[in-house]
Amino acid sequence: MKIYYAPNTRAVRIVWLCQELGLPFEIERFQLGDRKMRAPEYRAIHPLGRVPVLEDDEGTRLYESGAIVQYVLAKYGAGRLVPAASSADFAAYLQWLHYAEGMIMPPVNTVVVETFLLPPERRNQSNVDRAVKLLGRMLEAVEAQLVGRTFLAGEFSGADIMTGHATIVAAKLGADIADKPNVQAYIERLTARPALQSAWDA
């Protein structure tokens, strides 16, 4: 498999997943804002010029991180990191697999655009403040889900790769977790995993 990757992006999730599963892969590495990502050759791979993209040995190409996680687990996971459909954890797994992109990442995107991607004269601090406040609210649900739990849906799963990564990013961008001890402990557990450490450093 080949992963098109840039640091501090959703591509970290895909490297993390492959590391957790012990799957072989190669990386095509970019930096955010790299002109090569806007070139026609790369837009033929990802029409928006973004990462991640996954290409497998059978010619399948995907560029939505949640879809990549589901695809890799279904095709190469051999039942790992996914509760069985008959499990009491399966519904929670699906919810938290998708919570990242549905609820946490939209305000994350606002913060990233307003603080990193836009030129200083076009930035709007009010948008940042509103998004950071919203991130705190989005993490309240994560805090509640983690009461009495180590991970979001039973054992460590793809849901933790998706929403766990989003939770870590939200905290790094200033979301208030001072009153969220379960989230704090969860972030510590996830960041201690060697597979995630390797993914950050890829």
Question: What's the CATH number where 14 sits?
Answer: 3.40.30.10
Tens-place pLDDT, residues 65-101:
999 999 999 999 999 999 999 999 999 999 999 999 9
Domain containing residue 47: 2-76
The answer to whether residue 112 sits within a structural domain is: yes
Provide the edge-to-edge strand list for the sheet that holds 53-55. Answer: 26-29, 2-5, 53-55, 61-62
194 and 105 both lie in a single domain: yes
| Angle of helix 65-76 versus helix 90-99 axis, rounded to 10 | 140
Task: State pTM to two decimals.
Answer: 0.96
The answer to whether residue 85 sits within a structural domain is: no
Tens-place pLDDT, residues 29-72:
999 888 999 999 999 999 999 999 999 998 999 999 999 999 99
> Mean of the per-residue pLDDT values for the chain?
97
The answer to whether residue 84 sits within a structural domain is: no
Residue 62: strand, helix, or coil = strand
193 and 98 both lie in a single domain: yes
Total structural domains in the chain? 2
133 and 48 both lie in a single domain: no
The answer to whether residue 152 sits within a structural domain is: yes
Tens-place pLDDT, residues 142-196:
999 999 999 999 999 999 999 999 999 999 999 999 999 999 999 999 999 999 9
The set of residues, in sequence order, having a beta carbon less than 8 Å from that of 102 and lying 6+ positions away, is: none
